[in-house]
Amino acid sequence: MVGGRDYIPTIDASLGLVYRLNSLWNRADYAALEAKYDNWNNILDALYRNLLYREEVMIEENDKGEITAIQLKKQDTKIYRFLSLKIAQAKNEYLRSTGRVTKSRARSKWYHSVQLKDIWLRKLMQKLKLYLKENEKRPGSVMFGKFGGK
């Protein structure tokens, strides 16, 4: 059952995903610190794509059996689209704004919109149990559980 809850990737597949996600989070943090909001948002989009690797899609077909639409099923997709729209609106407001105070407020709104998407993705990653354990005495058990007993 590849797309279901019983899916257990091999250690190699798990490691690849963990390394990819960690690399992207590292890049996202640097983009945020450098105030490169477009870059930050693009990296968050890449993280989102990587987090949905097991997500099922809905395929709509017409009477002839031709595909007319494909979309992701989950509530997470609705949240992602909502957050992405808020970021686009905030960026547009920033680009249209004039005056120092107005531009500063609009930039702050843009930042907080991207930040909310970042936080939500971290929470999604936690929900999917893809974050490394925060407290673990043995580094080997962080990603793979406890080997060899205690």
For 72-111, how does the pLDDT look when each residue is reduced to its tens digit (9 = 90+)? 877 888 899 999 999 999 999 999 999 999 999 999 999 9
Does residue 146 lie within any of the structural domains?
no
φ, ψ for residue 56 (rounded to 5)?
-80, 155
The answer to whether 79 touches 120, Cβ cutoff 8 Å, is yes
Res. 19 pLDDT band, cuts 50 70 90: confident
Cα separation of 12 and 115, whole Å?
31
User: Number of folded domains in the chain?
Assistant: 1
Give the model's pLDDT for residue 83: 97
Contact indicator for 37, 91 with CB cutoff of 8 Å: yes
- Domain membership of residue 2 (yes or no) is no
Residue 119, domain member (yes or no): yes
In degrees rounded to 5, what are phi and psi of residue 71? Answer: -150, 155
Point out which residues pair with 58 in neighbouring strands.
71
Considering the domain boundaries, does residue 19 fall inside one? yes
At 29-57, the pLDDT tens digits run: 999 999 999 999 999 999 999 888 777 78
Helix, strand, coil share of the chain (percent; to 5): 65, 5, 30
> What confidence category does residue 139 fall into, taking pLDDT thresholds of 50, 70 and 90?
low
| Residue 42 structural domain | 11-133
User: If residue 81 lies in a helix (H) or strand (E), which one and from where to where?
Assistant: helix 75-96
pLDDT of residue 38: 98
**Spatial CB neighbours of 4, under 8 Å, sequence gap ≥ 6:** none
Is position 4 within any domain? no
Q: Quick check: is 98 in a domain?
A: yes
Note whether residue 99 is domain-resident.
yes
* pTM, 2 dp: 0.76
143 confidence band (pLDDT: 50, 70, 90): low
| pLDDT band of 140, cuts 50, 70, 90 | low
User: Torsion angle, CA of 127/129/5/12, rounded to 10 degrees?
Assistant: 150
- Look at residue 108 in the predicted model and tell me its pLDDT: 97
pLDDT band at 150 (very low <50, low <70, confident <90, very high): very low
Q: Is residue 26 part of a domain?
A: yes
Alpha-carbon gap, residue 60 to 100, rounded angstroms: 49
- Bridge partners, 72 (sequence order): 57
pLDDT above 70 (res 69):
yes
